């Protein structure tokens, strides 16, 4: 493939080519260059706590099973029978010692290894090497309860992949001990390209002012978004991961949230963050913020929704949403948070519906051949890059800004082009490396 994917994104002029949200060939290249190489989110530890627990999901369009082993480790392997290819597990999740394929009855252990075959007598000695004919296994690594996998043996470690972005992630996933997902993740489908979901969460605070105005007024007794937070707010981008945030500390948890949760953030969480990570991060947590991890994970610190945008072709996505809480929170607070997530960021939630409809429109207009040849504008705040003493990453001033989106697409093009990991540039100045 000789295409230079940087032709689809211009970070200096600030535009993106619409064809990346529509064309099949580009999508095929994404499956190969983005999804088969990047670290993909599989599950949270709390979803499969016990031996033989499993959860099925996708890495790109490759169906996989994530399964807890007796030794506590998680294995991730393709959910496709090496005999004629059918899926051998059709459940979303469960607890099993083995899986048996429907078609001819081959069985697979919870470790993903091929075991007994039904009617094994039809095979002669030497016909099949079971070790060799077991489903492909992925590399698995975890970050603070989040289980990730990649099929790329050459990919950097998960720690390197997250890099300095852990400076931000720690305040979400390790502010007061372990986190957990509340039971009952929800799946839904949107007729939109997967990148529209990711880029919305990576830095599009702007849409909330307009698109969510009525929804917010309905929930907050007539109060809309309030005065836009432009002072003391930033975009931070590291290798395509992006966090946009204010440093005023409170706005986000007010949205659909409760006084109890707000107080809990102020009295319990912020002091812990301050003690562990310092003043700046304790001010960031709970502010109006939204985050995406490259390529397809997003969450909202404060609102506590966590979601994965699974691609289903270039024109459709499968959204899986969860509510994330701290394990040691009182049950009442967990419920307050979950209720707020249900009201806002679930398929029937007020804010999710606002967004999904727009993303479908953004995608489906590209059916028009001429429309598809036009560019999309990503130039907001293009001259606002700053140096910041404490914040790691590429930093732009102001929350209403396209900076994180531009850098998300730059990383996208970097990976789309790369023949090997040596070709993938680091586009920010790493500061919080292992050695300091």
Nearer to Fe ion, 34 or 288 (CB): 288
Residue 161 interacts with which of ligand FES, Fe ion, none, CB < 5 to 8 Å by class: none
Task: Say which entry of Fe ion, ligand FES, none residue 355 contacts (CB below 5 to 8 A, set by partner kind).
Answer: Fe ion
When the beta carbons of 91 and 348 are compared against ligand FES, the nearer one is 91
State in angstroms the smallest separation of the CB of 93 from ligand FES: 21
Going by C-alpha positions, the residue among 436, 403, 431, 400 that lies closest to residue 168 is 431
100 vs 280, beta carbon nearer ligand FES: 100
State which residue, 83 or 272, has the beta carbon closest to ligand FES.
Answer: 83
Interface contacts to Fe ion, rule CB under 5 A: 355
Minimum CB separation of residue 120 from ligand FES in Å reads 11
Q: Which does 427 bind (CB under 5 to 8 A by kind): ligand FES, Fe ion, none?
A: none
Q: Which residue lies nearest Fe ion, judged by its C-beta?
A: 355
Q: How far is the CB of 200 from Fe ion (least distance, A)?
A: 6
What residue ranges bind ligand FES (CB under 6 A)? 81, 83-84, 86, 101, 103-106
Q: Which does 162 bind (CB under 5 to 8 A by kind): Fe ion, ligand FES, none?
A: none
CB of 363 to Fe ion, least distance (A): 16
106 interface partner picked from Fe ion, ligand FES, none, CB below 5 to 8 A per type: ligand FES
Return the number of the residue (51 or 128) whose C-beta is nearest ligand FES: 128
Least distance from C-beta 55 to ligand FES, angstroms? 21
Q: How many C-beta atoms surround the C-beta of residue 355 within 10 A? A: 23
| Minimum CB–partner distance for residue 112 and ligand FES (Å) | 14
Tell me whether residue 91 or residue 218 sits nearer to ligand FES (CB atom). Answer: 91
CB under 5 to 8 A by kind: which of Fe ion, ligand FES, none does 84 bind? ligand FES
Minimum distance, C-beta of residue 127 to ligand FES, in the bound complex (Å): 14
User: Closer to ligand FES at the Cβ: 86 or 335?
Assistant: 86
Binding partner of residue 191 among Fe ion, ligand FES, none, CB cut-off 5 to 8 Å per kind: none
| Residue 83 binds which of ligand FES, Fe ion, none (CB < 5-8 A, kind-dependent) | ligand FES
For the bound state, the minimum distance from the C-beta of residue 311 to ligand FES, rounded and expressed in Å, comes to: 26
- 3-state SS track over the chain: CCCCHHHHEECCCCEEEHHHHCCHHHHHHHHHHHHCCCCEEEEEHHHCCCCCEEEEEEECCEEEEEEECCCCCEEEEECCCCCCCCCCCCCCEEECCEEECCCCCEEEECCCCEEEECCHHHCCCCCCCCCCCCCCECEEEEECCEEEEECCCCCCCHHHHHHHHHHHHHHHHCCCCCEEECCCCEEEEECCCHHHHHHHHHHECHHHHHHCHHHHHHHCCCCCCCCCCCCCEEEEEECCEEEEEECCCCHHHHCCCCHHHHHHHHHHHHHHHHHHHCHHHHHHCCCCEEEEECCCEEECCCCCEEEEEEECCCCCEEEEEEEEEECCCCHHHHHHHHHHHHHHCCCCCHHHHHHHHHHHHHHHHHHCHHHHCCEEECCCCCCCEECCCCCCCEEEECCECCHHHHHHHHHHHHHHHCCCHHHCCCCCCCCCCCCC
Nearer to Fe ion, 218 or 386 (CB): 218
């Amino acid at each position: 493939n000789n295409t230079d994917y940087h032709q689809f994104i211009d970070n200096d002029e600030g535009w993106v080519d619409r064809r990346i949200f529509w064309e099949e060939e580009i999508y095929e290249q994404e499956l190969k260059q983005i999804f088969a190489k990047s670290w993909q989110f599989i599950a949270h530890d709390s979803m499969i706590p016990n031996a033989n627990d499993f959860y099925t999901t996708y890495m790109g369009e490759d169906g996989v099973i994530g399964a807890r082993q007796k030794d506590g480790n998680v294995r991730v392997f393709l959910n496709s029978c090496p005999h004629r290819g059918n899926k051998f597990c059709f459940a979303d999740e469960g607890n099993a010692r083995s899986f048996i394929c429907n078609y001819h009855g081959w069985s697979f252990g919870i470790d993903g290894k091929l075991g007994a075959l039904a009617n094994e007598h039809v095979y002669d000695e030497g016909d099949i090497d079971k070790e060799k004919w077991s489903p492909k296994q992925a590399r698995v690594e975890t970050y603070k309860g989040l289980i990730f996998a990649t099929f790329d043996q050459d990919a950097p470690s998960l720690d390197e992949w997250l890099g300095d972005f852990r400076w931000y992630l720690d305040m979400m996933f390790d502010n007061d001990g372990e986190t957990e997902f509340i039971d009952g993740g929800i799946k839904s489908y949107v007729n939109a390209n997967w990148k529209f979901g990711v880029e919305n969460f990576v830095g599009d605070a702007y849409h909330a002012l307009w698109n969510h105005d009525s929804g917010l007024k309905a929930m907050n007794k007539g109060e809309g978004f309030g005065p836009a937070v432009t002072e003391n707010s930033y975009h931070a981008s590291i290798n395509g991961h992006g966090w946009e945030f204010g440093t005023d500390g409170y706005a986000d948890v007010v949205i659909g949230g409760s006084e109890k949760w707000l107080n809990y953030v102020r009295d319990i969480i912020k002091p812990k963050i301050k003690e562990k990570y310092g003043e700046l991060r304790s001010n960031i947590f709970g502010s109006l913020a939204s985050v995406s991890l490259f390529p397809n994970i997003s969450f909202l610190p404060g609102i506590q929704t966590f979601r994965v945008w699974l691609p289903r072709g270039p024109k459709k996505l499968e959204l899986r949403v969860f509510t994330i809480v701290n394990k040691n929170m009182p049950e009442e607070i967990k419920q307050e948070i979950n209720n707020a997530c249900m009201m806002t960021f679930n398929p029937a939630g007020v804010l999710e519906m606002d967004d999904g409809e727009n993303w479908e429109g953004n995608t489906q207009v590209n059916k028009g051949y001429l429309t598809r040849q036009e560019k999309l504008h990503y130039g907001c705040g293009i001259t606002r890059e700053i140096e910041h003493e404490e914040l790691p990453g590429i930093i732009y001033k102001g929350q209403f800004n396209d900076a994180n989106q531009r850098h998300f697409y730059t990383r996208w093009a970097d990976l789309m082009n790369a023949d090997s990991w040596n070709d993938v540039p680091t586009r920010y100045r790493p500061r919080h490396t292992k050695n300091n």
